[in-house]
């Protein structure tokens, strides 16, 4: 799989909750993303989470992938919290 700058279409389902040094963060891990994006650093994207628009930076996990952070406002709008499953669709990588 390859993700390029510009329009793309990459969809995955994951659980909210990423272990970061013993703490669980309200994020969704995007496995294999470092290879797909060609970097382990933060990557700005346009996406949807359960069909709701989202844009921002995917944060590096430190283990070879990225995670999409879902703040309390977004989780409330989705009606989801840590432990719930969501569908993430990345539609564009920004420069």
**How far apart (Å, rounded) are the C-alpha atoms in residues 6 and 25?**
28
Q: Is 27 helix (H, G, I), strand (E, B) or coil?
A: strand
Nearest to 33 by CA among 58, 7, 70, 8: 58
pLDDT tens for each residue of 28-68: 999 888 888 888 899 999 999 999 999 999 999 988 789 99
- The pLDDT assigned to 6 comes to 52
Q: Tell me which fold the domain 9-90 belongs to.
A: Elongation Factor Tu (Ef-tu); domain 3 (2.40.30)
**What does the mean pLDDT of the chain come to?**
89
Predicted model pTM: 0.86
């Amino acid at each position: 799989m390859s993700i390029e700058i510009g329009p793309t279409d990459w969809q995955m389902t994951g659980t909210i909750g990423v272990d970061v040094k013993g703490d669980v963060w309200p994020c969704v891990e995007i496995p294999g993303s470092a290879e797909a994006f060609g970097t382990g650093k933060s990557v700005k994207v346009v996406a949807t989470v359960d069909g709701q628009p989202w844009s921002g930076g995917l944060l590096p996990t430190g283990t070879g992938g990225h995670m999409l952070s879902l703040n309390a406002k977004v989780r409330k709008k989705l009606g989801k919290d840590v432990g719930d499953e969501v569908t993430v669709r990345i539609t564009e990588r920004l420069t």
